[in-house]
Amino acid sequence: MNLMDRKCHQKKRQTEYLFLDIEWNQTPGTTDAKNRAPVQIGIVSADKNLQERNTFSKTIRLSDPALLNKETVRVAHMNKSQIMQAQTEDIVFDRVRQTFPAYKYVVVWTEETYELFKRGMKTYGLTMPKHQAVILQDVLMYAASGKKRQIGFEKALKLAKIAYAPGNLHYSKHDAKYLYMLFKQCYEAYFQMAGKETCVANTMSGKLHTQRCRYAKAADQGNFLTMPKTKLFQGYTVCKLCSGGGEWNYLDWDSKKIPAKQPTKDGKKVKKSTKVNMRSLPLTEDNIRRICSELGLSCSVGQDVIFIKTVFSRWAVYIRNGKVQKLHHENYRAYRSEYLKKQKKYAEGYHEQKLPSDNFYDVAFYIKCHDESFIKKMGQKSRIEQLFDMIQ
């Protein structure tokens, strides 16, 4: 192979994607993002053809051992000694910069992971190439569920028939690999089904619209281009107005069923769980995730607190002795919506919400209904207000 051929081959093999997972420690007694610190990072890189190129995995030392949360030790497959003897955050993030100097897309499962990564790079003055963030959980909400619900990571692996070891979940080295496999399989399936379908993309706002969306028809065509619907997997997001019609849902995971072991008692089949017996489930981590999955909620289980994320906002549910003690709701972001201005809830962090029940299932169901109701109210805003939200 001559020099020109080698350069051409190398160019084809350049890193296009980073598949990133971070396990973090939440300082005990806190819920906000500023009190989170990474303790593990895992990365898989791939070229433009989604062929794996490189892997990266490191444990990260906490700045102060007193900040270590017991739940971190349990979930992240590490003990205190392993965490405190690891390399410091600045060294690890600099290694990331050196190992992956160029890329176009950073693929993560949740927005929190990306924000933590971006914050770490910025804190230590480490430059990042121009890139797009792809929040795969949000992508699959449209591509696989028709905006009906968010899908948990483990359930997404099952629905996509990705082979995984349950004991390796919440371990960044493995989660990054599973994330890569999940993205590759879903993107290739989506491309096969929707590769010839087009939409209208606003290159300024990063929004995708269906061809008949009124915003796309009425907009200044200077910022609007016709693009394939597969741009959904490359950092573009779907317009709120035309996202609920199922026109992006080509994978249609809602029609698929995950095979489950049929529970038995004395050799006889036991009936499936109903809403009533879900209320009486012991509040183990598996049951918490089961309840949230049933209600279409995304959750992260911490020490005496459960973080819940809906399409609209985030919640913190505080648990003691199997019962809900407090409920906190994320303060609304300061969009230029007159409706939200009237709410007077702009500050960072959370505010306490009136507790509907001390039963976790009841509280989770309340969260689901609360945010679905709010989204409907948002849909009744004036056209000017919706345009302001699109700009955001």
The per-residue pLDDT for range 58-70, each reduced to its tens digit, is: 999 999 999 999 8
pLDDT at 344 over 50: no
Q: Residue 282: what pLDDT? A: 84
Q: How confident is the model at residue 230 (pLDDT cuts 50, 70, 90)?
A: very high
pLDDT at 392 over 60: no
Percent of the chain with pLDDT over 90: 47
Percent of the chain with pLDDT over 70: 80
Q: Residue 148: what pLDDT? A: 73
Round the CA-based radius of gyration of the chain to a whole number and report it: 22
Q: How confident is the model at residue 275 (pLDDT cuts 50, 70, 90)?
A: very low
Q: Residue 44: what pLDDT? A: 98
Would the pTM of this model clear 0.85, i.e. be above it? no
Q: Residue 279: what pLDDT? A: 81
Q: Residue 247: what pLDDT? A: 85
Q: How confident is the model at residue 129 (pLDDT cuts 50, 70, 90)?
A: very high
Give the contacts of 215 (CB within 8 A, at least 6 positions apart): 209, 239, 241, 242, 387, 390
Q: Residue 95: what pLDDT? A: 97
pLDDT at 219 over 90: no
Q: Residue 193: what pLDDT? A: 92
Q: Residue 7: what pLDDT? A: 45
Average pLDDT over residues 226-248: 87
Q: Residue 12: what pLDDT? A: 45
Q: Which residue has the higher pLDDT, 5 or 241?
A: 241
pLDDT at 386 over 60: no
pLDDT at 338 over 50: no
Give tens-digit pLDDT for 37-47. 999 999 999 99
What is the rounded average pLDDT for all residues in the chain? Answer: 83
Q: Tell which residue, 165, 196, 194, has the closest CA to residue 181.
A: 165
Q: Residue 116: what pLDDT? A: 96
pLDDT at 274 over 60: no
Interatomic CA distance for residues 357 and 70, integer angstroms: 27
Average pLDDT over residues 293-299: 85
Give tens-digit pLDDT for 154-205. 999 999 999 999 989 999 999 999 999 999 999 999 999 998 899 999 888 8
Q: Tell which residue, 262, 304, 307, 303, has the closest CA to residue 289.
A: 307
Q: How confident is the model at residue 384 (pLDDT cuts 50, 70, 90)?
A: low
Q: Residue 224: what pLDDT? A: 87
Give tens-digit pLDDT for 87-116. 999 999 999 999 999 999 999 999 999 999
Tokens for 276? 């009533």
Q: Residue 339: what pLDDT? A: 43
